[in-house]
Amino acid sequence: MRAIPYAIFAALVVFAISRRLRRRRNQEQAGPPTRQYYLSSLLGHTGLVAQREVRERLRGRFFRVITLVLLAVVAAAIVIPTLHSSSKSSQTVGVVGTASPALRREVDRLARNESLSVRVVTVADLETARLQLSSGRLDLVINGTTSILVNKPIPATDTSAGAQLARSLAATLGVQQTFRAAGLSTTQIAQITQAKALPIRSVQPGSNRSTAQSTSLIGVVLVFVMLTQYLTWTLMGVMEEKASRVVEVLLAAVKPIDLLGGKLLGIGLVALFQAGLVVAFALILAKAVGSDLLHGTAPLVVVATLIWLVLGYAFYSWVYAAAGSLTERQDQVQSLALPLSVPIIFGYIISLTAAGSGNASVLVKVLAFLPPTAPFAIPTWVALGGIAWWELVFSAAISVISTFGVARVAAAIYRRAVLRTGGRVRLRSLLAS
């Protein structure tokens, strides 16, 4: 029921977007209107180029398809575990026969331990209890002192609050039953069962690590998918401008650095928009279905993932753009794309392995300071804990400084290579010219 407002909100957003797209299509059929270039007033030529890039990319079918696929994957990653664990924040517990005040108090206490609100109702007989469990009106039933009934078996891997309540009720009531049989008084039994457990204190700081780990796993996969997608756009976009020879017309009016910068900024803005959309969708959906994916340190992981996605794109996009300027055919692009993607795949696999194992290895910590692998290693390290704020700042600073250096070299390669046609340009021949 709590998901209904979110579902309505999502439907309204989808409706508004589709209406806008329809209106734009109608306008296009009627004839081209004057385009507004908002970014140009801020960034001059770079802004103009960026805005054309954003418009063309958002208009493309590929963007819509990949966004929908990403949203579907994120939705599945969030919803499926909650379906599996049948997690709910409130439970209705049936008691066959009469529910003594002591039993009600016990159920309340155990529910509070699991952060659940609970309603205790009495059920006339076992048959009625079974029916109400099947129909979903009851989440579990206490059958006197003999058993706890649930609708479906609870697997050992189910760590939801409802499953934990069923387990702790079963254990507590069983212990009470044994104490009663041993002749202890009600007061003694209450004293024993309500005994406070000794606190468990960890030597290392950190809380709710498993949740943050899951979030970082999703984050690392998202960074990989999005970086791969947008860097391929950059590579192909530069190659296509060279192949169609439009770049010569553009460079007659715009400096190479402005043209390249605008292109990378435009694709980067689309990437950020898509990432923002996916994260916003994930947050809303996680809240709506009561997922615990964003609890604990997980929000920090989300923020780190977004920041290093931007830093990673900024670093790699120059490299890919320079590579794109060396080629003018698809087959040439493919032969360049593979070696370029090696550090991405390396960082991705190492980080994914570390996030899965729950141990931030020395290798991950080293990779976190290298700009090509930091977008994967940093979110993982943040999720696994133990990273200091200065280490984050240091890693970000290395990425930013390296990006400036890479941009200078890439712009020089681009300027020299993009007008050379007739085959793949070798770096050696660029240096010789």
- Residues making contact with another protein (CB under 8 A): 28-29, 31-32, 34-37, 40, 45, 48-49, 52, 56, 241, 244-255, 416, 419, 421, 429, 432-433
Shortest separation between residue 427's beta carbon and another protein, angstroms = 15
Shortest separation between residue 405's beta carbon and another protein, angstroms = 22
Nearer to another protein, 106 or 258 (CB): 258
Nearer to another protein, 31 or 101 (CB): 31
Report CA-CA distances (Å) from 204 to 207, 231, 378.
10, 38, 19
43: CB partners within 8 A, 6+ apart = 50, 262, 265
Nearer to another protein, 284 or 419 (CB): 419
Q: Per-residue DSSP letters for 140-176?
A: EEEETTTEEEESS---TT--SHHHHHHHHHHHHHHHH
Determine contact, residues 351/380, Cβ cutoff 8 Å. yes
CA distance 250 to 205: 55
Distance of CA 302 to the CA centre of its chain: 7
Side-chain-facing half-sphere of 147: CA atoms under 13 Å = 5
Shortest separation between residue 33's beta carbon and another protein, angstroms = 8
Nearer to another protein, 202 or 433 (CB): 433
Shortest separation between residue 264's beta carbon and another protein, angstroms = 17
User: Any idea which residue has 């930013």 for tokens?
Assistant: 400
Nearer to another protein, 139 or 258 (CB): 258
Shortest separation between residue 43's beta carbon and another protein, angstroms = 13
DSSP H helices, 244-329, are: 246-251, 256-288, 298-325
- Nearest Cα neighbor of 271 from 322, 317, 220, 304 is 317
Shortest separation between residue 55's beta carbon and another protein, angstroms = 9
125: three-class secondary structure by DSSP:
coil
Nearer to another protein, 71 or 419 (CB): 419
